[in-house]
A = this chain, B = another copy of it.
Amino acid sequence: MTSEVVRRPAAAVAVAADPATTIERVGVLLRARGERMTRARRAVLTVLVGDGAHLGAEEVVGRVAALDAGVHRATVYRTLDALADLGVVQHVHVRRTGTAYHLAHGGREHLHAECRRCGVVQDLPPDLLDGVASAVLDRDGFTVEPTHVALSGLCAACVTVDPPGGPAR
């Protein structure tokens, strides 16, 4: 289980072009915390490095299995958690896939919007909600974390099929 104590993420990893290098760097970060680089973690990282998109946890499980059959589903979840805690992966809550994971690319993270019909996750510019966030902070003292949930709506393709106003999913 991940510790109850909130740990500050390590300095963001500069993701290298080369998977092996990225993994090695993450290994260093892990050891610096007294944690370890294992086969399972290597597999998960390989999957995430190999696909820039947003993968659902179960999707990661699948690809990891294809890569290293011995890795258990529960381990993937724990690994994803550990890497998120490290600051190396980032997750977004989306309805369709549950939770989507991707490598943190160092700088400011982009935001997401999910189509409630087809499930596509669209990337949005990092600063999109800056105005909203400071407005809400002023109003209510609530600190919005824009990367953490995907905005919901209809993508360009789906909006023609199922125009808004109908009952939301």
Task: Check: A106 CB closer than 8 A to any chain B CB.
Answer: no
In the complex the two chains form, what is the Cα distance from A151 to B149 in whole Å? 7
With A144-B151, A144-B153, A150-B149 as contacts: A136 and B159 at CB distance below 8 Å: no
In the complex the two chains form, what is the Cα distance from A95 to B150 in whole Å? 12
- Interface SS, A side: mixed
In the complex the two chains form, what is the Cα distance from A150 to B148 in whole Å? 10
Closest residue of chain B to A140, judged by CB?
A: B122
Report A146-169 CB contacts with B as 1/0, cut-off 8 Å: 111111111110010010111110
A interface list, Cβ under 8 A from B = 6-9, 84-85, 87, 91, 93, 95, 113, 115-116, 122, 124, 128-129, 131-133, 135-136, 139-156, 159, 162, 164-168
